[in-house]
Structure 1
Amino acid sequence: MSAGPGIQVLPQSAAERVAAGEVVERPASVVKELIENSLDAGARRIVIEIGGAGQRLIRISDDGAGIPGAEVPLAFQRFATSKIRTAEDLRHVRTYGFRGEALPSIAAVARVQMVTRIQGADAVKIVIAGGTRQGLGPASGPQGTTVGVEDLFFNTPARRRFLKSPARERAVIVDTVEALALAAPEVAFRLTDEDQEILWFPPETFAERARRVLGPEVAAHALEVSAIGATGTLGGVLGTPQVAQRRRTHQWFLVNNRPVRSPLLARALAQAYHTLIPEDRHPAAVLSVRLAPEDVDANVHPRKAEVRFVRERELFEDVERAVRRTLHRVPLLHVIPALPPDAPADAATAGGLEGVPAHAPGTGTLGVPHRPPLTGDALDITDAPASDLPWPPIRVIGQLALTYIIGQSGKDLVLIDQHAAHERILFEQLIARRAREGVQAQGLVTPIVLELTPQEAAVLTDLEAPLRSLGFDVELFGPKTVRLTAVPAIAGHRAPGEVFRACLRDLQDDYGPHAGRSLEERLTIATACHTAVRAGDAIDPTMMAGLLDALSRAADPFSCFHGRPTMVRVRAPEIERWFYRRG
């Protein structure tokens, strides 16, 4: 084997291109770095112009402080920066840029022209192509800086092959501008593509900017979150569960005003929406976290797109608690005015379904309870103020397709999923009973002997204790045989063996669709799901009224624990439009 080439130092031009690859990944990277420079310069108005999806042209103009003429050449030298002076300053970074790599990295792989002027001085212009300075001299222009970037990657054609379609690159630029616009809502932003305006953000409040970025559909169903936690402060705008998205494209996170990607914050957000949206949906949100600078390390990614946190667990809990508290403070169904005192009384509520009482003390003539304020303990929210979620008065009309309860609320039509509603009731009652009274089991007069499949038997070995905590009493009766002697009290009206097998089935595939939750919680979900009234079950009007009465007292009455809605509401005007009674 022949010896390889000896070790040598790369030429400066080659080293600059290698370094540029870490900072300038695509046109959006250039947009990000230049906007951050404008924000650090105190700009109040930033204009971004692109052509050819950013490959042919990127021009960013601002009205910031500008750069003194004598320092313009330094701005294009690697690691030359005005943001920090020592390594210790990295622990207290308060600016967007601080590495001194953006301009030299961009100039190494494009043709760059910059015109800048500070107050009380003449403008200066510098031209650089592929890292080589081609001109420096006086110019004319307003205070601020304009940087034009043309022919991106002209000297590294291999990089162009890895770019996506123009439409995709343009979309990433839009996302980048939106993220930075969220970081500086007091600054006006304008983005044009081939002279066509794509985005315009006037100066506004953070909440207004967040709603604008989230879009009109989400903004119409948005909640503002504000909290002080152990790690810092949190502010933002949350989309309600009904506008949850199929992808995470409507999630923005800012840490100390810096847009970042944060798996930790994304997990905390998802956990707060747990049981409120389906497993395949994602909440829409803009969250801004402010922490002590020394608790955040922004120097872990060449493009500063990721950060590390010193107090990860506490931050996760702060964010999850604040978002969940906000979601629980408001009704997740439209509130309607209470019916007048002389409204006709509804049928008396009655029992018939497990967990649905014949009559709930403290209820009104419509079977709607005068609910006491919810407490932090009831919602598992520390120090949450008392709240009273408005519950729409619903008059039961009948049943549709043996699946949905038809109700009337004022002039509106309400459809209630009987299974989703009942499993929400049972789930919360199981949790409450286990915490308050311990095991609620019902012994079987005649024990049931069950032959298990190999998969069921494998799951059972890890589940004996959790099963017993819910009320299942199971004895091993052979390698794959068990004897069932008791079941949860709420499952008494179902075939015991059927409920038991269904619970095991739900936990076979990596412990079922609710992987990530505790075994006890997953078993509680499975028990409630397979015990609840099902689609296809006929229930009479008094049982329907009783179910709605019990649902009205649930902590989360408007969704089941799978995240599906328990009810939907159709406004009377919408029905009138169906029949062409209104335009």
Structure 2
Amino acid sequence: MGKIKELQTSLANKIAAGEVVERPGSVVKELLENALDAQATEITIEVEQSGISSIRVVDNGTGIESDDLGLVFHRHATSKLDNDEDLFHIRTLGFRGEALASISSVGKVRLVTCTDGLEGEEIYVENGQILDKKPAKAKQGTDITVESLFYNTPARLKYVKSLYTELGKITDIVNRMAMSHPDVRISLYSDGKEILHTNGSGRTNEVMAEIYGMKVAKDLIPIQGDTSDYHLEGFVAKPEHSRSNKHYISIFINGRYIKNFVLNKAILEGYHTLMMIGRYPICYINIEMDPILVDVNVHPTKLEVRLSKEEQLYQLIVEKIREAFKDRILIPQNNLKKTDKKNKVLNQLEQQKMDFEHKQKEESASSTNEDADENIPPQRETDDCEPFSSAEHATSNNNAGEVNEASSDYIFSETRKEVLDDMESSEDMGADTDMIEDDPSNIKGKVSKDPSRRIPYLEIVGQVHGTYIIAQNDNGMYMIDQHAAQERIKYEYFRDKIGEVSNEVQELLIPLNFHFSKDDLIVIEEYKDELEKVGVHLEPFGGHDYIVNSYPVWFPADEAEEIIKDMIEYVLHHKKVDVSKIREEAAIMMSCKKSIKANHYLKKDEMADLIDQLREAEDPFTCPHGRPIIINFSNYELERLFKRIV
């Protein structure tokens, strides 16, 4: 008798659910996508216990025909594909026909639907089997409820995170769907409390105001661009609103949220030196394109896609983001209100930590006294594990204080991080409820026609610690980092000069020697001609060794060896030679080394001259590493500091 047999439908559905339904957020995503594909204009999502207990999605879409109800929960049953050709022209969010089958195999599903607003039907499903079907009163659309998620797969339930984490995942999914479909009214409720509500006005920046707060939304800059294959539009936030991770980068293709390393890199390249290393922007980018140029069928959750003509799209994103910031005033303002609020929260957390540690020590001392009186060693609660040995017991008593202290440090460091992240992502929410306009002229950070006007006229007041220049005008007080300012000026000078230099070379007195592995030798030989085009001539020196007898004249003389090493490393890792990138790194290095340092006192005319040069810079707001050069303290903030106003 053969060993191969066909899997039972229920088992096959559970296996599929392992890919499609990873957590409660996965259920919300699939049901929300179905509602949007059904052309709904209003969708309400209600979750209880972060979706573990119940998930309900109600929409006013087209509904499901009575004849189709028998197939809704079958695997690979879909209304969105008819033949092979359709797979290469996908414009819907769902198309595999696995979502409802997978959800019904790990949860108890009740579905009420109506197509005409008069007569509806209700079905109840468990383990992928329809257990009940009956007529029901219903509005047009679909009302689907999933209860007791993972009730029959305890292993999956075991790996679900905390309720706070799972609710965060659900909120994130709904937020991104709301951004990509601003014309749909979307509401999210958790245990009866409203988390999100959009007005369906069709304006993406209003949705972003609801999600990120008005302060960020007022600093959004619209971008738009076209090529023969792509249409791009979106919003990018000013660099001062940067975040510590990529979570706030939202990229959509034909309304579908995706994750793509290359496009993330293009966005960061667009910000260029305006963003510090390790910081990431808030941005929304939607790309409209012919579906034949994108393959969305490469990942079970449909988050990853393959793109044709990816390099063309990369260049478009970089170009449009750089254009957005090219002539804008990007001087960040010091926000005393935010700082005071953050300090207050941190002080409260620190006090809670001290109280917690004090309580732990009292409990530890109490338990030690009780053990001494009773002279009974503690036992493990479960019988399926071996009891502590006497040595382990002694060690555990000796280290109890250390463990409690370490635990409190961990608990409160995690709490501190979560609170600050929450404050950062929702800062100044609702502080200003003015209508946001798509017109760039109505958005904070207006366009300046004259590059020198991007830095306003400043009257020099003095210098602090030989490091910061203090200046003033009618808008308040300005602090300028003199090193960062001159670093930006010299960077732009060296960048332009290095770009003009030909591939002339300077001979070395002592050749540089490089040793490569066999794998590296193959790559080096392939790109040897490309390296020679930029002035790096590798000559065989026997075995796996090469020598270099000269270097391009635009290399800094004292850094020539290091730059050549970096160029070769770049070739080995990226399989190409990027001359512009190498020249830019050289310009950054030279500008940093040749700029005035901290604790260097300047005369007033020297400070004024530095500011004048900065006003002529192309991007006078950040140094080449992305650090801010100039910060503004408004007159209002100065008066608050001295309690002239409260």
TM-score by length of 1: 0.78
CA distance in 2, matches of 1:296, 1:86: 18
CA distance in 1, matches of 2:611, 2:294: 48
Residues 231 and 486 of structure 1: CA distance in aligned 2, closer, same or farther (over 3 Å):
closer
CA distance in 2, matches of 1:505, 1:580: 57
Match of 1:574 among 637, 640, 644: 637
Q: Which stretch of structure 1 is more off in the superposition, 326-335 or 558-567?
A: 326-335
CA displacement at 1:435 relative to structure 2:
3.2
- Tell whether 2:536 aligns with 1:536: no
CA distance in 1, matches of 2:160, 2:609: 60
Which amino acid is 2:60 matched to? D
CA displacement at 1:217 relative to structure 2:
3.6
Q: Which stretch of structure 1 is more off in the superposition, 202-211 or 145-154?
A: 202-211
Which amino acid is 2:266 matched to? A
Q: Secondary structure at the match of 1:408?
A: strand
Match of 1:398 among 462, 469, 479: 462
Counterpart position of 1:36: 33
CA distance in 2, matches of 1:505, 1:81: 57
Counterpart position of 1:288: 286
After TM superposition, list the pairs within 5 Å mapping 1:130-209 onto structure 2: 130-204=127-201, 205-209=203-207
CA displacement at 1:334 relative to structure 2:
6.8
Counterpart position of 1:327: 325
Match of 2:619 among 551, 556, 563: 556
CA-to-aligned-CA distance 1:351-376 (integer Å, 9 cap, x gap): xxxxxxxxxxxxxxxxxxxxxxxxxx
Q: Which stretch of structure 1 is more off in the superposition, 536-545 or 566-575?
A: 536-545
Q: Which stretch of structure 1 is more off in the superposition, 191-200 or 170-179?
A: 191-200
CA displacement at 1:522 relative to structure 2:
1.5
CA distance in 1, matches of 2:602, 2:551: 29
Contact 2:448–2:454 (Cα < 8 Å) also in 1? no
Which amino acid is 1:137 matched to? K
CA displacement at 1:451 relative to structure 2:
13
Counterpart position of 1:431: 495
CA distance in 2, matches of 1:135, 1:142: 20
Counterpart position of 1:124: 121
Q: Secondary structure at the match of 1:177?
A: helix
After TM superposition, list the pairs within 5 Å mapping 1:102-113 onto structure 2: 102-113=99-110
CA displacement at 1:453 relative to structure 2:
13
- Tell whether 2:91 aligns with 1:91: no
CA displacement at 1:134 relative to structure 2:
0.7
CA distance in 1, matches of 2:298, 2:278: 31
Contact 2:125–2:132 (Cα < 8 Å) also in 1? yes
CA-to-aligned-CA distance 1:78-128 (integer Å, 9 cap, x gap): 111111211101111111111111111110111000000111641100100
CA distance in 1, matches of 2:111, 2:448: 55
Structure 1 residues not aligned, in runs of 5+: 336-383, 456-460, 471-478
CA distance in 1, matches of 2:584, 2:2: 61
Which amino acid is 2:148 matched to? D
Residues 418 and 454 of structure 1: CA distance in aligned 2, closer, same or farther (over 3 Å):
farther
Q: Which runs of 4+ in 1 moved over 6 A?
A: 384-387, 448-455, 482-489, 501-511
- Tell whether 2:412 aligns with 1:412: no
CA distance in 2, matches of 1:484, 1:301: 49
Match of 1:248 among 246, 262, 270: 246
CA-to-aligned-CA distance 1:280-315 (integer Å, 9 cap, x gap): 100110111111111111111222112211111111
Q: Secondary structure at the match of 1:95?
A: coil
CA distance in 1, matches of 2:470, 2:448: 34
Contact 1:434–1:440 (Cα < 8 Å) also in 2? no
CA displacement at 1:168 relative to structure 2:
0.5
Contact 1:217–1:243 (Cα < 8 Å) also in 2? no
CA displacement at 1:329 relative to structure 2:
3.2
CA displacement at 1:404 relative to structure 2:
1.0
CA distance in 2, matches of 1:133, 1:488: 74
Structure 2 residues not aligned, in runs of 5+: 334-446, 516-523, 536-544
After TM superposition, list the pairs within 5 Å mapping 1:69-80 onto structure 2: 69-80=66-77
Residues 488 and 30 of structure 1: CA distance in aligned 2, closer, same or farther (over 3 Å):
closer
CA-to-aligned-CA distance 1:139-188 (integer Å, 9 cap, x gap): 11111110000011111110111211111010000000011111211111
Q: How many residues end up aligned between the 2 structures?
A: 503
Counterpart position of 1:339: none
Match of 1:298 among 277, 296, 299: 296
CA displacement at 1:230 relative to structure 2:
3.8
Which amino acid is 2:486 matched to? H
CA displacement at 1:485 relative to structure 2:
13
CA distance in 2, matches of 1:155, 1:101: 18
CA displacement at 1:507 relative to structure 2:
6.2
CA distance in 1, matches of 2:106, 2:534: 64
Contact 1:231–1:318 (Cα < 8 Å) also in 2? no
Contact 1:503–1:526 (Cα < 8 Å) also in 2? no
Contact 2:276–2:626 (Cα < 8 Å) also in 1? yes
CA displacement at 1:229 relative to structure 2:
2.7
After TM superposition, list the pairs within 5 Å mapping 1:8-27 onto structure 2: 8-27=5-24
Contact 1:119–1:143 (Cα < 8 Å) also in 2? yes
CA distance in 2, matches of 1:310, 1:127: 43
Q: Secondary structure at the match of 1:169?
A: helix
Residues 311 and 486 of structure 1: CA distance in aligned 2, closer, same or farther (over 3 Å):
closer
CA distance in 2, matches of 1:74, 1:133: 10
Counterpart position of 2:589: 526
CA distance in 2, matches of 1:484, 1:399: 44
CA displacement at 1:35 relative to structure 2:
0.8
What fraction of aligned residue pairs are identical, expressed as a percent? Answer: 34
Which amino acid is 1:563 matched to? G
Which amino acid is 1:11 matched to? Q
Contact 2:551–2:560 (Cα < 8 Å) also in 1? no
Contact 1:506–1:526 (Cα < 8 Å) also in 2? no
TM-score by length of 2: 0.71
Contact 1:48–1:61 (Cα < 8 Å) also in 2? yes
Which amino acid is 1:408 matched to? Q
Q: Secondary structure at the match of 2:480?
A: strand
Contact 2:481–2:630 (Cα < 8 Å) also in 1? yes
CA distance in 2, matches of 1:276, 1:127: 55
CA-to-aligned-CA distance 1:13-35 (integer Å, 9 cap, x gap): 11111012121111011001111
Which amino acid is 2:106 matched to? V
CA displacement at 1:189 relative to structure 2:
0.9
Residues 424 and 453 of structure 1: CA distance in aligned 2, closer, same or farther (over 3 Å):
farther
Contact 2:503–2:552 (Cα < 8 Å) also in 1? no
CA displacement at 1:231 relative to structure 2:
2.8
Contact 1:66–1:145 (Cα < 8 Å) also in 2? yes
